[in-house]
Amino acid sequence: MKTRTIQAYQISNAVVDLIYKASFSLPYAVEKRIDRMLKDEETDLARTTLKILRENNEIAAAEGLPLCQDCGMVIVFIEMGQAVLVEGSLTAAVNSGVEEAYRKFSLRRSIVADPLKRGNTGTNAPAFIHTDLVEGDGLSLTVYLKGGGSENMSALKMFRPTDSAEAIIDFIEETVVRAGPNPCPPLFLGVGIGGTADTAMLNAKKAVLREAGTRHPDPAYADLERRIEERLNGTGVGPLGFGGRSTAAWVYIKEAPTHIAMLPVALNLNCHSLRFGTVEL
Amino acid sequence: MMKDWKKIETPVTDSLIESLAAGDRLLLSGVVYAARDKAHERLCAMAARGEKLPFDPAGQLVYYMGPSPAPPGRVIGSAGPTTSSRMDPFTEGVLKMGVKGMIGKGRRDAATRALLQQYRAVYFASFGGAGAYLAKRIKESALIAFEDLGAEAIYRLGVEEFPIIVVNDMHGGDLYEDVLRKR
């Protein structure tokens, strides 16, 4: 097998670039959702809130102020071809990219080295890196920035295999209503169904990386996404919990094979500021 | 977009606080004090020991916020509200000092909602995730205590027409609950 070499610095540079883009501007499809939701809202406060969010995105891009003061923890998804050889340390390369980006672009460092001792690392490193080995000689690098307020509203429930789709929708509604204003809706909601407890959670994260406005390729899951969205947009929570129709900006499901005894459902509540980007090296 | 919003100033008066109702939209000008988790812990400990506080809290508002670093030539970085519920354990501590309201985002616990009525104070929300937008309404920023806490230090902020919404008024009104009931 012919191998392809990628230098560690190429990975660092890509991480810096992706963090820059994600911190100051939203993916086009995400921005378009706000315009779409504005059409659905009637009350003055819901409309004003969405307009403020839109103006926030414009100011961030034009004036170099981060979209949110919570500049996130850096979650990195790497799909690495088996024929790729990284010269140098992959992990160190990602983390040095994180350190450089957060320093250079005046982003807030929010990572503590230890969950109980709580000392800030001062660099926003380490990143949370998930690597999948795939066939071929490509390397796909995704940076996903997630804030603490929305991550705190995450949920996991292990259903019975015989539970209905309706029971799953009920659980999602309960979770989103209980979270209410806290995760900064309208939410980009990732739903991981199946797998193990941990893969369901990871799939809930990966799910939101699909382009907003596009449905699951399997019509049955696409239909379930629509039903979840309809239910959530009838709760009344609305933009930032101030009331309205736009509680879910978009719903994405990512499923996985599971055990005969299991039906895990994991929820990744992402705020209205869905910050991510991908590059192929 | 905000023509009918009511303009208010800090320090706030008791009669203003009394007049506010859940759902009111306000544009705030004056001084607010930014503090979050660790700063609350320290402030409340200082007050409990009877020490002099780093600012005079009478009639003031606390803003639950930890900014991103100010880029060169700017007063402050991105500066939107953080989740308020983490400061629930410190509600009574700051209200006892004389603080008349807090600005953040997200729900408060039952104890905090009761304390707001008892101490005749108000909980406001600002616009979560609109940190760049809100930064433009902050005209001055000075670090006044706990520099070692970095983004979690206490900042005195001069704000101009800073948009806030009344969530919990002192009469028991609750915007977040009202919008769910209306569905």
Residue-wise pLDDT tens digits, A235-261: 999 999 999 999 999 999 999 999 999
| Contact criterion met (CB < 8 Å) for A106 and B69 | yes
Q: Is residue B154 within 8 Å of B146, Cβ to Cβ?
A: yes
Cα–Cα distance between B107 and A182 in angstroms, integer?
A: 7
Q: Tell me: the pLDDT tens digits for B135-149? A: 999 999 999 999 998
Which of B1, B163, B179 is opposite residue A236, by nearest beta carbon? B179
CA closest to B135 among chain A residues:
A65
d(CA B55, CA B146): 12
Q: Are A265 and A171 in contact (CB under 8 A)?
A: yes
Q: Are A172 and A238 in contact (CB under 8 A)?
A: no
Question: Average pLDDT in the B177-183 region?
Answer: 83
Q: What does the DSSP 8-state code read for residue A187?
A: E
% of chain A beyond a pLDDT of 90: 99
Closest CA to A82 of A129, A133, A131, A141: A133
The answer, yes or no, to whether the previous bond of A181 is cis (omega within 30 of 0) is no
| Helices A28-40 & A44-63 angle (0-180, nearest 10) | 160
CA angle at A174 for the pair A169 and A177, rounded to the nearest 5°: 120
Q: What is the pLDDT of residues A204-217, one digit of tens each?
A: 999 999 999 999 99
pLDDT band at B183 (very low <50, low <70, confident <90, very high): low
The one-letter code for the residue type at A248 is: A
Nearest of A172, A153, A177 to residue A235 by alpha carbon: A177
- The model carries a pTM of 0.96
C-beta atoms of A68 and B129 within 8 A: yes
Instruction: Spell out which residues of chain A touch residue B183, defining contact as CB-CB under 8 Å.
Output: 234-236
Residue B64, pLDDT > 90, answer yes
A115: left (phi over 0), alpha (psi -120 to 50) or beta: alpha
- At A1 the pLDDT is 74
pLDDT digits (tens, 9 = 90+) for B10-23: 999 999 999 999 99
> HSE (CB half, 13 Å, CA atoms) of B4?
4
Chain segment B84-119, per-residue pLDDT in tens = 999 999 999 999 999 999 999 999 999 999 999 999
Q: What is the DSSP string of A218-267?
A: SHHHHHHHHHHHHHHTTSS--GGGSSSS-SEEEEEEEEE---TT-EEEEE
pLDDT score, position B149: 87
Task: Give CA angle at A199 (A198, A205), nearest 5°.
Answer: 100
Query: Cβ–Cβ of B131/A66 closer than 8 Å?
Result: yes
Residue B34 has pLDDT above 80, yes or no: yes
Q: What is the mean pLDDT of residues A39-66?
A: 96
Contact residues, chain B to chain A, C-beta under 8 Å: 1-2, 23, 25, 65-71, 74, 77-80, 82-83, 85, 105-107, 125, 127-133, 135-136, 150-151, 163, 165, 175-176, 178-183
Mean pLDDT over all residues of chain A? 97
CB contact under 8 A, A55 and B82: no
B132 contacts on A by Cβ (under 8 Å): 56, 59-60, 63, 65-68
DSSP readout, B70-113? PPTT-S-S--PPPBGGGGGGGHHHHHHHT--EEEEBS---HHHH
Chain B contact for A20, CB < 8 A? no
> Which phi-psi region, left, alpha or beta, contains residue A78 (left: φ > 0; alpha: ψ -120 to 50)?
beta
pLDDT at residue B1, as a whole number:
78
Percent of chain A with pLDDT over 70: 100
The answer, yes or no, to whether residue B2 has pLDDT greater than 90, is no
> CB B78 to CB A60 under 8 A?
yes
pLDDT tens digits along A73-125? 999 999 999 999 999 999 999 999 999 999 999 999 999 999 999 889 999 99
Contacts of A251 by beta carbon, 8 Å cutoff, 6+ apart: A189, A191, A225, A226, A228, A229, A232
Burial of A211 (0-12, 13-18, 19+ CB in 10 A): exposed
Q: What are φ and ψ of residue A68, in 5° steps?
A: -140, 145
CB pair distance less than 8 Å for A70 and B82: yes
User: From B180, which residue of chain A is nearest by alpha-carbon distance?
Assistant: A236
What does the pLDDT average to over A145-160?
Answer: 97
Q: What is the pLDDT of residue A235?
A: 97
CB contact burial A258-272 (16+ within 10 A = b; e otherwise)? beeeebbbbbbbbbb
Reply yes or no on whether the pLDDT at B182 is more than 70: no
What Rg value do the Cα atoms of chain B yield, rounded?
A: 15
> Which residues are CB-neighbours of A207 under 8 A, at least 6 positions away?
A190, A191, A192, A252, A253, A254, A268
A19-37 pLDDT, tens digit each: 999 999 999 999 999 999 9
Average pLDDT, chain B: 96
For residues A149-169, average pLDDT:
97
